[in-house]
Structure 1
Amino acid sequence: MIDTERQDWARGWAKLKECAEREGYARVPYEHKEGAFPLGQWVAEQRRAYGAGQMNGRRAQGLEKLGMAWLAADVRFQENLAAARVYYQEHWTLCAPRSAAVLDKPVGQWLSNLRRPGALDGHPEWEAALEAIDEDWNPSWSAEWQRHYAVVREMLAEEFVLTYVEPGVTVHGMDIGKWLARQRKPEVWAALADGQRERLEALGVTPLAAAPAPVEPEVSAEPSTAPMSAFDRGVAAWRSTRPARAL
């Protein structure tokens, strides 16, 4: 006997896999169809079965590997994560400014909230999903610094020559040339974290050489043996013939 229920489930999983690989997430609206297959209805049925305890562990794991979210909070996370993924593709970083919005999602504020201490407690899978997109999504230095660095990395990937990145070269509203020149100052470079210097060095950015200390002229304690001019000899002779003043 053919197990049609198993075949139907396998077909639904395969359709969801196609959708997730194409869109980057497993969130589909109820009315969504993959071809003629009602994938949105199928996903809704899987959530119902999972919530009722009617789904075996193997199926649940198979769906979770595709990014299936069971709880409402997980669904919202996956929706925002999809927007964050689009932002990263455009900007090479998840350190978005708070005003950033993608796919009608306030992704900048959302990411800022997640960077707060304790925001991801109890959700290691969320943190892993963010790190899978950008390992520096929550750096130990400022998000603003990371945004500038990401632009430099993007420019180099496009075979841009660093020597041409001078003050006034602006990308995404940021003066990258001015920022880069500042990072290379010896006093600024020394104040950077190890991870910041490592990332800049990987791009070929190195600090400028420190300015040499001014050299003080040496004053000799020995009397000069240089020949005296006729004028100097005359002054010396005049001084020797003047009577000493009485104290």
Structure 2
Amino acid sequence: MLSDLTYAARAALKKFTERELHARVSYGDKEGAYPLGQWTAEQRRAYGAGQMTGLRARRLEKLGMVWSLADERFQENLEAAKVYYEQHWSLCALRSAVALDRPVVQWLSNLRRPGALEDHPEWKTALEAVDEDWNPSWPAEWQRHYAALRELMANEEGQAEVLPGFTVHGMDVGKWLARQRTPKV
């Protein structure tokens, strides 16, 4: 039966992970003639339904089994977002933003859509742990300038003058600050 953890299945999964350096097996993947993707999908279904014993799950995990491809992709993208945040102090990334060879801005844009995190509150919590303003209700450009100025001023004692023309990451934070100080009429 396809769902049995047989020697052939373990061998196929091991061979796949050694070659690909991961265990993100897709439904259509085959290892030789063995339908590894179908077998893996059945294992994920059984695990998710609570029908798999702890020992069997541990054996699969030892082989590198990935139970949720979506969770794994999220974690990989989150690592890229952390790198971006360390460099830019905001997850309100520019269109061209890339970190760890991942298009951070597209991923974040997808997660900002209404309802995108409805089934994954833990993802929202993880993003907020990196940047509490990762999804502001105000313009992203404003947040980028504010974050750059905040980091610039973090180590200053007292007031420092930031004049127009002073740039951080290509943004004129001095000009932005002057506009913020100008009363709206």
Structure 2 length-normalised TM: 0.65
Q: Report the CA distance between 1:132 and its aligned residue.
A: 1.1
Partner of 1:174: 171
Partner of 2:70: 73
Partner of 2:103: 106
- Map 1:31-46 to 2 at 5 A: none
Q: State how far apart, in whole Å, the 2-side matches of 1:135 and 1:167 are.
A: 28
Instruction: Check 1:180–1:101 CA distance in 2 against 1; reply closer, same or farther (3 A cut).
Output: same
Partner of 1:156: 153
Q: Secondary structure at the match of 2:99?
A: coil
Partner of 1:187: 184
Q: State how far apart, in whole Å, the 2-side matches of 1:160 and 1:179 are.
A: 21
Partner of 2:126: 129
Is residue 85 of structure 2 the alignment partner of residue 91 of structure 1? Answer: no
Contact 1:86/1:102 (8 A) holds in 2: yes
CA deviation profile, 1:40-70 (whole Å, cap 9, x unmatched): xxxx9xx8794584355xx99xx9xxxx973
Q: Which amino acid aligns with 2:123?
A: W
Contact 1:170/1:177 (8 A) holds in 2: yes
Structure 2 gaps of 5+ residues are: 1-20, 24-39
Structure 1 length-normalised TM: 0.49
Q: Report the CA distance between 1:158 and its aligned residue.
A: 3.1
Partner of 1:54: 52
Partner of 1:234: none
Q: Report the CA distance between 1:78 and its aligned residue.
A: 0.9
Partner of 1:165: 162
Contact 2:82/2:130 (8 A) holds in 1: yes
Number of residue pairs matched by the alignment: 138
CA deviation profile, 1:119-145 (whole Å, cap 9, x unmatched): 212111111110111110001101110
Contact 1:69/1:78 (8 A) holds in 2: no
Q: State how far apart, in whole Å, the 2-side matches of 1:93 and 1:101 are.
A: 13
Contact 2:95/2:105 (8 A) holds in 1: yes
Q: Report the CA distance between 1:108 and its aligned residue.
A: 1.2
Quote the sequence identity (%): 65
Contact 1:97/1:109 (8 A) holds in 2: no
Is residue 99 of structure 2 the alignment partner of residue 120 of structure 1? Answer: no
Structure 1 gaps of 5+ residues are: 1-28, 32-43, 189-247
Partner of 2:8: none
Contact 2:153/2:160 (8 A) holds in 1: no
Could you say which structure has the larger radius of gyration? 1
Instruction: Check 1:87–1:98 CA distance in 2 against 1; reply closer, same or farther (3 A cut).
Output: same
